[in-house]
Amino acid sequence: MSLYTNVKLYLEANSKTVAEFNNNILLQNDGSGDYIKFWNVDGLAKPTDEQLETYNSAATTEENNNVIRATRKSAYGDIGDQLDEIYSDIDAWKARIQSIKDANPKE
């Protein structure tokens, strides 16, 4: 999992949004690993490593599901083609979409 995802989950758990990254948070890697170089989120203290570690499991799940979403999106194809397929044979479209979902389950 990435530091970005852990920080994102920390923000969301504390009623903040990913928009807080804009000019408020800077993540950096100087070759020794990712770290928070700059933190200026109004009303929320910079998280400790221990606080961020509590999000490891959720971060892994989110990142895995993002890969699955991208795989599904690619397999689904162009929306225009899908609409033509629905118009022509909605049952065939449903079966194709279900097979993609079955082959790429979310966690």
Residues of the chain with pLDDT under 70: none
Q: Which helix (H) or strand (E) holds 93?
A: helix 79-103
The answer to whether 33 and 61 have CB atoms below 8 angstroms apart is no
Query: What was the pLDDT predicted at 30?
Result: 92
- Domains belonging to the chain, first-starting first, are 3-75 (3.30.56)
Among candidate residues 17, 56, 23, the one with its CA nearest the CA of residue 40: 23
Q: What is the pLDDT of residue 41?
A: 97
pLDDT of residue 1: 74
